[in-house]
């Protein structure tokens, strides 16, 4: 990606350096899906709304080590470090792109989310957020949360490196914000409360696949608005990332067999299909995963 000319977002809170990588309980709730490894693995990538996680959706494994701290005062990474600048620029592009989409396609004004960069753990309106949850969106405060060390996990553990793969992570969470603005999140939450776990998981899959599609819509539209933004190989990076974190692949790698009833994000094939849907159509109306009989 060529982000040199992209303006950085101002809707960013930098809470890094305020804590180590220790684990904290999440709202006193248990995870409750499959094995702990599967539960952690399924949502480290593109984590769903933490309220869904607290209700039993999966979270992905990501052990974080406490960063060395000075005895005199906590170390806070400089605001202009490379990953921070990258994150701010991608968020800024999503803001401008979704403002355009909302105005031209929906005749609405787009209210951007705030992105919080943190280390280890941080308070949120959805409970305590942890690095082990991976990037996630909290609809209660309309904020995206990310520990920037996740980018290393993305590359080293899942083999999904590259700027566009990292941008896809942010765009997916912003896709959850778009769902929140359009009222999708509230409808899904209300429906989940009336369902058993297996049915609720199926709704979570549709929610996640729609966010994948919306991430694709962002990339397609952003590429049209700035034809220098995407470079050869960028799209392939995103599709590779989507394939790497399908529920079926993660379960197979972790426990040697697949439990479809425990899926909360969709299979590798589904995630690639819906990301590609957004990329090829650039049309938010083509992302209605809830209207599809087969995903």
pLDDT of residue 289: 96
Q: What is the mean pLDDT of residues 30-34?
A: 34
Considering only 17-21, 60-64, 194-198, 253-257, which range has the smallest mean pLDDT? 60-64
pLDDT at 71 over 80: no
**259 lies in some domain:** yes
Contact (Cβ atoms closer than 8 angstroms) between residue 44 and residue 129: no
Asked if residue 4 belongs to a domain, the reply is no
- For 153-168, what is each residue's pLDDT tens digit? 888 888 888 999 999 9
User: Residues 170-176: what's their mean pLDDT?
Assistant: 97
Lowest model confidence (mean pLDDT) among 12-26, 96-110, 153-167 = 12-26
Note whether 188 and 261 are within 8 A (CB): no
Mean pLDDT of 123-144: 94
Number of domains observed in the structure of the chain:
1
Q: Map residue 195 onto helix, strand or coil.
A: coil
Range of the domain at 121: 12-291
pLDDT in the model for residue 288: 96
Above 80 in pLDDT, residue 74?
A: no
Those residues whose C-beta lies under 8 Å from the C-beta of residue 183, and which sit 6 or more positions away, are none
In a domain, 5, yes or no: no
Which of 37-51, 134-148, 176-190, 266-280 is predicted least confidently?
37-51
pLDDT confidence of residue 76: 54
Answer yes or no: is pLDDT of 28 > 50.
no
Position 279 confidence tier, pLDDT thresholds 50, 70, 90: very high
Span 74-91, average pLDDT: 80
The answer as to whether 2 is a domain residue is no
Of 66-80, 104-118, 187-201, the one with minimum mean pLDDT is: 66-80
Residue 121: which region, alpha, beta or left (left: phi > 0; alpha: psi -120 to 50)?
A: beta
Q: Which residues, at least 6 apart from 187, have a Cβ–Cβ distance to it below 8 Å?
A: none
26 lies in a domain?
A: yes
- Asked, for residue 6, whether it belongs to a domain, the answer is no
Taking residues 245-271, what's their average pLDDT?
A: 85
Is the pLDDT reported for residue 152 higher than 60?
yes
Q: Is residue 1 in some structural domain?
A: no
Is 152 part of a structural domain of the chain? yes
Nearest Cα to Cα of residue 43 among 200, 163, 173: 173
How confident is the model at residue 36, as a pLDDT?
36
| Three-state DSSP state, 283 | coil
Q: Let me know how many helices (H) and strands (E) the chain has, helices first.
A: 10, 6
The C-alpha angle with vertex 6 and arms to 136 and 101, in degrees rounded to 5, equals: 65
């Amino acid at each position: 990606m060529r982000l040199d000319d992209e303006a950085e977002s101002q809707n960013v809170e930098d809470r890094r350096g305020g804590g180590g990588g220790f684990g904290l309980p999440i709202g006193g709730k248990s995870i409750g899906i499959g094995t702990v490894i599967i539960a952690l693995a399924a949502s480290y990538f593109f984590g769903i709304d933490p309220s869904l996680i607290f209700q039993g959706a999966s979270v992905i494994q990501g052990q974080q080590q406490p960063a060395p701290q000075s005895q005199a005062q906590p170390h806070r990474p400089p605001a202009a470090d490379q990953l921070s600048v990258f994150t701010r620029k991608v968020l800024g592009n999503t803001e401008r792109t979704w403002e355009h989409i909302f105005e031209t396609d929906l005749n609405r004004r787009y209210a951007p989310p705030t992105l919080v960069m943190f280390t280890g753990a941080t308070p949120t309106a959805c409970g305590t957020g942890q690095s082990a949850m991976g990037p996630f969106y909290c609809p209660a405060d309309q904020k995206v949360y990310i520990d920037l060390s996740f980018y290393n996990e993305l590359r080293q553990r899942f083999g999904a490196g590259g700027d566009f793969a990292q941008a896809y992570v942010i765009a997916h969470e912003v896709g959850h914000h778009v769902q929140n603005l359009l009222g999708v999140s509230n409808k899904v939450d209300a429906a989940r409360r009336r369902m058993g776990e297996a049915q609720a998981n199926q709704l979570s899959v549709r929610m996640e696949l729609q966010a994948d599609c919306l991430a694709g819509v962002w990339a397609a539209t952003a590429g049209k608005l700035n034809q220098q933004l995407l470079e050869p190989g960028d799209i392939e990076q995103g599709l590779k990332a989507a394939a790497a974190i399908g529920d079926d692949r993660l379960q197979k790698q972790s426990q040697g067999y697949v439990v479809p009833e425990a899926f909360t994000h969709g299979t590798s094939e589904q995630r690639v299909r819906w990301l590609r849907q957004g990329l090829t159509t650039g049309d938010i109306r083509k992302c209605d995963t809830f209207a599809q009989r087969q995903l």
